[in-house]
Structure 1
Amino acid sequence: MFYHIKELQYRAKPSCPDPAYAKKLQEVLGGQYGEISVMMQYLFQGFNCRADEKYRDLLHDVGTEEIGHVEMLATFPRELEKQEVSYDLFNFSRGDESSQGRWARGEAFDGRGEFRYISVPVAFASAPHLKPAPMWLHNTLLPMSKC
């Protein structure tokens, strides 16, 4: 089970379409080593983990975070990424077993930051107020013709 907050973490609105960039983004999102592959690897490793519970919890937390990356990549320009949270581990699970590992506190392995464990993550923005999508995008909402 996943806990999903129905709010955008960041407000992002590209100024215009860019098909070349979209093609590159598709590779990062769904390519062989893209976010979707990474997400699935972490989640399946967590599902099959027979080690101490803190490791399974960590794998599920990272897999859930990767789901968020997939969502962000689909909607967010990288140059506006919030670097302040690069070393934060957000707990998206019941329990706090993943807070017990080296990844939850102390100096980061690259020496550029400090790991922090965020037990109760909060959204960085308020709920957006979006216009409904145009009807032509959701043609299944149109009445079906009778044969």
Structure 2
Amino acid sequence: MFYHTKRLQYYTRPQRPDPIYAKKVQELIGGVFGEMTVMMQYLFQGWNSRGPAKYRDMLLDTGTEEIGHIEILSTLIGHLLDKAPLKLQEQAAQDPVVGAVMGGTNPRDVITDVIAAAMNPQHTIVTGLGAQPADSVGFPWNGRFIASSGNLLADFRSNLHAESQGRLQAVRLYEMSDDPGVKDTLSFLIARDTMHQNQWLAAIEDIESSGIETTPVPSSFPLELEKREVSYQFWNHSEGTDSAEGRWAKGPSMDGKGEFEYVANPQPLGAEPQLSPADPRLHGTPTPELTEGNGSSALPLVERTTISG
């Protein structure tokens, strides 16, 4: 059961409308790493959790918080769209403002048209000056953006990744605005992203130290069934050996179960692939060395059968 409190978690109204910036804020709602993604990711991970109750509760706490973040950003977009220009005229001049001056038109009217051309037209046509479940270029949010695998350690690592990318995008949008209200609102969301990055790092440490799940994920797969001779080899697949200087190239592996080895000149361990001819009913490209007879009448070395109705 969910309850909605009408007051926002945090919000400072922008000082002035900015429909072009509203288009950019859409990325923080419906982008790959936007609030809709982390909201649905945490909620589904929580709903699907079969592990200890503390993890389920934590996931649902944070997923529900993210619903409020979407409300904050939707409200921000609504205020940024206040008094958005509805009129759009084609301008023949290369620089519409200069063209307006030369043609005797009020430059202010032309600037309004330029703003209208740059804003998201769906903010007026589709939503009537409201936010959308879409990114900054209008691509609809997609459920395939989320990760909910049933393995909590794998999911917590995905969550850390999502919060890292989301905070990066929020910080970039912060730098793109000079509106004190916008910057103050974003500063709250950026701070919560700081908490959530730390939260997922703590959750990863907690679940690994408990022994419920460890690296490599899934730890339930028997290590003896993998090719252990290559489990900790770093393969140098590009010119130069700068990568040999990294932590991943020498010393104990991060899971404590092996030693990193740097392979400067990796060699192929498999043979050149050879595929059998396709079923002739698929009408693929004939392989001359695998056919009998002569000319185009040769049949592939696959018995031709008739498909009966």
Give the TM-score normalised by structure 2: 0.26
Matches within 5 A, 1:27-106: 27-76=27-76, 77-80=181-184, 81-82=187-188, 87=195, 102=202
Whether the 8 Å CA contact 2:13–2:182 is kept in 1: the answer is: no
Residue 23 (structure 1) shift: 1.0
Whether the 8 Å CA contact 1:35–1:70 is kept in 2: the answer is: yes
The separation in 2 between residues aligned to 1:54 and 1:45, in whole angstroms, is 13
What SS does the aligned partner of 1:8 have? Answer: coil
Compare CA radii of gyration and give the structure with the larger one.
Answer: 2
The separation in 1 between residues aligned to 2:36 and 2:24, in whole angstroms, is 15
**One-letter identity of the residue aligned with 2:36:** I
User: Structure 1 residues 13 and 78, CA, compared in 2 at 3 Å: closer, same or farther?
Assistant: closer
Structure 1: which 5+ runs fail to align?
89-101, 104-147
Q: Which residue of 1 aligns with 2:2?
A: 2
Whether the 8 Å CA contact 2:11–2:72 is kept in 1: the answer is: no
**One-letter identity of the residue aligned with 2:53:** E
Name whichever structure is richer in helix by fraction: 2
Cα deviations by residue, 1:64-115 (Å, 9 ceiling, x for unpaired): 1111111112224541134777649xxxxxxxxxxxxx56xxxxxxxxxxxx
Extract structure 1 runs of 4+ deviating beyond 3 A. Answer: 81-88
Whether the 8 Å CA contact 1:12–1:75 is kept in 2: the answer is: no
Give the TM-score normalised by structure 1: 0.52
Whether the 8 Å CA contact 1:39–1:63 is kept in 2: the answer is: yes
User: Structure 1 residues 51 and 78, CA, compared in 2 at 3 Å: closer, same or farther?
Assistant: farther
Percent identical pairs in the alignment equals: 54
Residue 29 (structure 1) shift: 0.7
Structure 2: which 5+ runs fail to align?
77-180, 197-201, 204-309
Q: Which structure has the higher relative contact order (CA within 8 Å, separation 6+)?
A: 1
